[in-house]
Every structure is written in structure tokens, then in C-alpha cells.
Amino acid sequence: MRKEGLKFVLGGLGAALAGAGWAARGETCWLALSVLGVLFAAFCAYFFRDPDRTPPSDPALILSPGDGRVLTVAKEGPGSVTTVRIFLSVFDVHVQRLPCSGVVEKYHYQPGAFHMAMDKEARENERAVVTIRVAGRSETLAVEQIAGFVARRILTWVKPGDQAVAGERYGLIQFGSQAAVHLPESAEALVKPGDRVSAGLTPIARWR
């Protein structure tokens, strides 16, 4: 479990103990608080899980940054960039992983709205964008962490100048969100809407 989830787990267990204490004094109505506290703690421990993974070693592959379901694979706006958008439900692992190796060139945080993460309007949501200068190539690739209606906090653990290693952990979005990768023309998408993907494991595109 990620350390970021510890305060939520402890909060749930604290509520459970408080409810049990009041119930032991004869206030049985507090048993509900105890049960809810245990359930909340268990859910948070599950939500903040962070399984170890071994990414594919092929440098021609671009990996999924998040666990979830592919929403869209489409050109958005002018230019030749194809965007792959992935919806992360509250039941998916919410640790994001780098889609390719290289050097982190830019980091940009953009305040915004908090629309439902599976909706088209989520493109207006709060986001953090990491741009990577791809190893051995002239292109850059941008990957986004996008907040949702429930997710209200984005954590990004890389900064400009850092080495990017495909499949390595680089961030976390709390409680339901969206991830996106913006593919240059030299990359070919390998997924379609509805596909299930796993961060750091599933190839979502390949360099031509």
C-alpha cells in the first residue's frame, strides 16, 4: 500500500475504535460507525495498493500510464497528435507509470474543473502534464494525470531533468480519475475504446 493512503486507513480504524468504545458503553447505535470505519479502512487499503510490475523491455513500445478502460483514441484539435484517454475507476490501481524512457523535459500543472472523469468535459479538469524527451529519438511525448469528480488531488513525483524509465512509478491520483497520452505522428496506437489496460504493462502504442 502507498504511504499516501495510511492517513485514510488510520482515520477509518480510529472511527471504528471510537464507535466500538461507545457501543461497549451500551450505546449500540454506534456499532454502525464501527462497521463503516472498518469498511472505509479496508477500501482505502485496497485503493492505495501498489503492486510490483515488470514492464516489457522493447523500447519501441509505449506503455499505458494507468490501469483502467480506454475511453477514446482520437485526434483532438489541430495537428497530428493522437490522444489515448484512459478512465480509472475507484476500483483500479491509481499509481501512474511512465509510458516511455527518456528525460523529463517539462512539468505543467493546470487548475481546472472537476467533471466526471469518464465524460468528455473532463478535458477541462485539473491536470498535471509531464513531457518526456524520448530516449534515442527526436520526439517528445506528453502524459497527463487528470482529476475527476471524486479525485481532488494529483501527486507527481518527477520533475524536469529527471531520467524517465518506462514502467516506473511517477504519480498518483486519489479516488477516480483519467490518464492520457498524446502520441506524435511517428507513433501508432495499438488499443481501441473499451480495451482494458494496465499501467507499465500494456503497450498502447508503438513507434513506427
| Chain-centre distance for alpha carbon 108 | 16
Chain centroid, CA 7 distance in Å? 19
Backbone angles phi, psi at 103, to 5 degrees: -130, 135
3-state secondary structure of 127: strand
Cα(31)–Cα(22) distance, integer angstroms: 8
Active-site residue, from 34, 64, 177, 186: 177
* Cell triple for 76: 483532438
The C-alpha R_g of the chain, in whole angstroms, comes to: 19
Of 180, 195, 179, 7, the C-alpha closest to 95 is 179
Q: In what order do the strands lie in the sheet with 95-97?
A: 95-97, 169-173, 154-156
Taking Cα atoms as reference points, which of 165, 168, 183 lies closest to residue 70?
183
Is 138 noted as a catalytic residue in this protein?
no
**Residues classed as catalytic:** 177
